[in-house]
Amino acid sequence: HFLLTFWFRNTWIWGCQHEGCTRKPSLRPVETPAARASGRRGRPDGARGPLLRATHETLGRYLIAFEEPRDGTPVEWLFTENESHSERLWGTENHTPYVKDAFHACVVEGRREAVNPRPIGTKAAAHLRVDVPAGGRFEVRLRFRPEAAGAGDWFGAGFDETFCRRIEEADAFHASLAPPGLDADRRQVLRQAHAGLIWTKQFYHYSVHDWLQGDRDIAAPPASRLKIRNTEWRHFFARDVLSMPDKWEYPWFAAWDLGFHMIPFANVDPDFAKHQLLLLLREWYLHPNGQLPAYEWEFSDVNPPVHAWACWRVYKMTGAAGARDLAFLERAFHKLLMNFTWWVNRKDPEGNNIFGGGFLGMDNIGVFDRSKPLPVGGRIAQADGTAWMAFYCTTMLAIALELARHNAAYEDVASKFFEHFVAIVDAMHAQGDAGLWDARDGFYYDRLVCDGCSQPLRIRSMVGLVPLFAVEVLHTEDLARLPGFSRRLQWFLIHRRDLRKDVSLMEGHGPDRSLRLLAIPSRERLESVLRYLLDENEFLSPFGIRSLSRHHARHPYEIRVHGETRTVRYVPAESDSHLFGGNSNWRGPVWLPVNFLLVEALERYHRFYGDGLTVECPRGSGVRMNLREAGDEIARRLTRLFLRDADGHRPCHGGEERYARDPAFRDLLLFHEYFDGDTGRGLGASHQTGWTALAAKLIEDLAKRERSQG
């Protein structure tokens, strides 16, 4: 049974008052003179099959043509309404005898009375019964176009010509995005990453006010709905096409996912990338208190603050210096100021520049569920939460300095972000039990603060690598053009020596003394963390950077809580923890978004240190690299996830022979949510081309670097 189905989204039955509601549309056969003369309902001139007219209040009128099979296979048209089966779902009376599951009732259960005997509805299907032998083929042709375009030649030579033209256009478009000289395998990865981004766009409609209140003309919602979630987000109203994390498993937007999506999207559709970033900052998304909505399940959860970074990167990627979209950057900056203030007010509980934040995207990375109250009381001073805020500061500083080049009024706010960054760095490196730097191990850890004392949670994880992200390089010649900012900067360096001790590199100690570095770790601390990062027995995997050190495979972290031992061990594949449902794992796998930020950070460190700072990569190999080369090595390992090895296997497919040998599958790629920290096998959502499409940007950047080096 083959059902070619057309339907209108139900926008007419709910009793809502906003602009997302319409009068009831219709699908019905078209009666043409030729059809009446032949005695066949709906057969249009130039078409070998029935023609449907779709009529909608705001979309207008469209025609849908279906070519009847040339082998004479009979076609039966079925009609119903795209309305819920209220009786089955809620025990209330149906609005119509013809409901949305009518085709199942008719075809599977044999109940003809379930479909409308009159050829009209808001859902229609052409029903064919076809026997297709193994390895056989059955082709169906459809055409959909505005009625104003006329009938014309529906399925003649023009059909094939249009089809071929669209394929040629798609080939040309994707070829234009690939850097020159890229081999066929990398071009394939690039194209499918970009195509997946486009495919995962989806119309998303959610009015929190209406959802909490319930649908006036449908069964009343349960009283518990008012206590479930998002009750503080009644202003939220989405009716937009959005980039989804994964249109199959996660068909709703997530703020920090979307920020990463827009980096590869900036090369595919720069206008869409800028529009998406601004959309989440509009007043019908952004909370009046400045919080960005996290994700549908709980808007009030906290994701890492990467939105400013995404805006800044898209701004630089979508125009040459001097010809960039300053209006976009300025619009984003004003709303980001609100979000930054929300972070400072809500996530720094004691006003000492040590931030909590809770969930922060990395679901089960800690020994406690960081989004809930601790079972031991107290709180966690989060190394990543604090470092994310420092990262936010450096990004906002960079944006403010860019805007100040065109408007001196932004110099004052640039000073604010510099001073806030310095205060955070000072707090992270405080002496005694207050800081997040652990001098014994030479690593950053969360601290458990309880009953007036604190202890480091010595888990070597991505939490301790996030402090590397917060790095920005400033040029003295740029600062010289900003006299107000420069004067404040000099005053601060002279008069606040108590705070500047951990940012002494601001004085230009690098090989190029015209540069100034803002970073959380000093050179010595950076080198200490990098020894862990580039050690294959710790973080460095054949396929990127692990989210938890492999050290914890043999040395799991344990803590006693109320007589119970809680353990964090290295788990490179699927989670062995039920935190956050167990369908996500940050205790070993490789995740593209944080890896991408690490690669970018290492490039910025190299911009300052140059060849004056080299590291052994991998540790123990005897091979020394500067930090950009080390970042490129990580990027190459990440792209290796998707590239064929000598046997034709792509690591992301986990040795599945079908994807290596079967001609129908060998050129198809899956962009998984995350990857096994040892084997590279794809895990989690298996069609996720959102942030995993960052692999495309890594391929592009590596190709450009290799080309520039000859």
Give me Rg for the CA atoms of the chain.
29
Distance CA 677, CA 690 (A): 20
- Strands (DSSP E) contained in 471-561 are 471-475, 515-519, 540-541, 544-545, 557-561
Distance CA 307, CA 337 (A): 11
Distance CA 392, CA 364 (A): 23
Model confidence pLDDT, tens digit, residues 521-552: 999 999 999 999 999 999 999 999 999 999 99
Map tokens 């796998």 to a residue: 589
Q: Is residue 17 part of a domain?
A: yes
Q: Is residue 209 part of a domain?
A: no
State the CB neighbour count (10 A cutoff) for residue 60.
11
Inter-residue contact 45 to 34 (CB < 8 Å)? yes
Residue 649 tokens, joined: 């296997």
CA atoms within 13 A on the CB side of 367: 26
Amino acid at 145: R
Map tokens 């030649």 to a residue: 153
Which residue in 306, 309, 314 sits closest to 262, CA to CA? 314
Distance CA 257, CA 591 (A): 12
Q: Kindly state whether residues 91 and 20 are assigned to the same domain.
A: yes
Left if phi > 0, otherwise alpha if psi is -120 to 50, otherwise beta: which for 428?
Answer: alpha
Q: Kindly state whether residues 505 and 565 are assigned to the same domain.
A: no
Inter-residue contact 202 to 241 (CB < 8 Å)? yes
Task: Look at residue 506 in the predicted model and tell me its pLDDT.
Answer: 63
The alpha carbon torsion through 79, 11, 243, 365 (nearest 10 deg) reads -100
Region 394-414: mean pLDDT is 95
Inter-residue contact 388 to 362 (CB < 8 Å)? no
* pLDDT higher than threshold 60 for residue 421: yes
- Contacts of residue 279, defined as CB under 8 A and 6 or more positions apart, other chains included, come to 240, 242, 285
Task: Look at residue 566 in the predicted model and tell me its pLDDT.
Answer: 86
Distance CA 367, CA 557 (A): 8
Q: Kindly state whether residues 479 and 546 are assigned to the same domain.
A: no
Q: Is residue 168 part of a domain?
A: no
Q: Kindly state whether residues 515 and 642 are assigned to the same domain.
A: no
Residue 153 tokens, joined: 């030649």
Amino acid at 49: G
Amino acid at 353: N
126, 152, 178 - which closes a domain: 152
The alpha carbon torsion through 498, 503, 504, 506 (nearest 10 deg) reads -130
520, 546, 576 - which closes a domain: 520
- Which carries the bigger pLDDT value, residue 220 or residue 132? 132
Region 693-710: mean pLDDT is 93
Backbone phi, psi, residue 123, to 5°: -145, 130
Q: Is residue 50 part of a domain?
A: yes
96, 118, 152 - which closes a domain: 152
Distance CA 570, CA 693 (A): 26
Model confidence pLDDT, tens digit, residues 361-399: 677 788 777 667 777 777 787 778 889 999 999 999 999
Q: Kindly state whether residues 620 and 510 are assigned to the same domain.
A: no
Model confidence pLDDT, tens digit, residues 246-259: 988 889 999 999 99
Residue 51 tokens, joined: 């023609």
Q: Kindly state whether residues 383 and 474 are assigned to the same domain.
A: yes
Q: Kindly state whether residues 373 and 501 are assigned to the same domain.
A: yes
Count of domains in the chain?
Answer: 3
- Contacts of residue 23, defined as CB under 8 A and 6 or more positions apart, other chains included, come to 12, 57
Write the secondary structure of 20-34 as one string of H (helix), E (strand) and C (coil).
CCCCCCEEEECCCHH
Burial of 585 (0-12, 13-18, 19+ CB in 10 A): buried
Model confidence pLDDT, tens digit, residues 32-78: 555 555 545 544 444 446 789 999 999 999 999 988 887 788 888 99
Q: Kindly state whether residues 501 and 395 are assigned to the same domain.
A: yes
pTM of the model: 0.93
Q: Kindly state whether residues 22 and 124 are assigned to the same domain.
A: yes
Q: Is residue 254 part of a domain?
A: no
Inter-residue contact 85 to 97 (CB < 8 Å)? no
Q: Kindly state whether residues 582 and 507 are assigned to the same domain.
A: no
Task: Look at residue 496 in the predicted model and tell me its pLDDT.
Answer: 73
Region 219-244: mean pLDDT is 91
Residue 486 tokens, joined: 């420069």
* pLDDT higher than threshold 70 for residue 264: yes
Task: Look at residue 466 in the predicted model and tell me its pLDDT.
Answer: 95
Range of 707's domain? 522-710
pLDDT-derived band at 160 (thresholds 50, 70, 90) equals very high
Model confidence pLDDT, tens digit, residues 467-508: 999 999 998 888 888 988 888 888 877 777 766 566 645 666
Residues in the chain: 710
Distance CA 356, CA 84 (A): 44
Distance CA 104, CA 110 (A): 9
Q: Is residue 445 part of a domain?
A: yes
Buried b (16+ CB within 10 A) or exposed e, 238-274: bebebbbbbbeebebbbbbbbbbbbbbbbbbbbebbb
Model confidence pLDDT, tens digit, residues 165-210: 999 999 999 999 999 999 999 999 999 999 999 999 999 999 999 8
Region 412-441: mean pLDDT is 84
Average of per-residue pLDDT values in the chain = 89
- Which carries the bigger pLDDT value, residue 298 or residue 14? 298
Q: Is residue 287 part of a domain?
A: no
Q: Kindly state whether residues 599 and 699 are assigned to the same domain.
A: yes
Model confidence pLDDT, tens digit, residues 83-123: 999 999 888 889 899 999 999 999 999 999 999 999 999 99
Q: Is residue 282 part of a domain?
A: no
Q: Kindly state whether residues 25 and 96 are assigned to the same domain.
A: yes
Cα 328–chain centre separation: 20
